[in-house]
Amino acid sequence: MRVRALDANGDMTFGRGSANFLVNSPQAVAQLVQTGLGLFQKTWFLDVTVGMPWLSAVIGYGTKAIYDLAIQNQILSTQGMTSIDNYSSSLDPVTRRLTIPNTVTLNTQFGSTPMPETTLDFG
């Protein structure tokens, strides 16, 4: 597995040769998880089935248990994932911000790593 590394702003990195890539590592899988959660289903023109079904199955459709299950299914469907430990999330209904903290542990085929804190803003 080889993915282009993202910087702190979520932009692809360039100009450092092979250092611009994450290769066969838990961090590579964690980055795929994080970008997969941020991709709304039906927005990538090359494959409209890819991404989280935020609008069609999550937002406004149910309880915390329903959206947590959808998020966990998305995480587990990511290439290289084997299991999730310590999953939690919090939703602020006023700001409509969903946060998945970095206390979530991603178990990958390359080892374990904390998931980067992921905040999704639906406001």
User: What residues contact 34, with CB distance under 8 A and at least 6 apart?
Assistant: 115, 116, 118
Between the two ends of the chain, the Cα-to-Cα distance in Å is: 34
Higher-confidence residue: 59 or 121? Answer: 121
Strand order in the sheet with 118-121: 90-92, 97-100, 118-121
Provide the mean pLDDT of the chain.
Answer: 91
Higher-confidence residue: 120 or 14? Answer: 14
- Determine the topology of domain 2-121 in CATH: Nuclear Transport Factor 2; Chain: A, (3.10.450)
- Within a 10 A sphere around the Cβ of 75, how many other Cβ atoms? 25
Q: List the chain domain ranges.
A: 2-121
pLDDT at 64: 87
Cβ-contact 112, 105 below 8 angstroms: yes
Distance CA 70, CA 66 (A): 6
Percent of the chain's residues with pLDDT above 90: 61
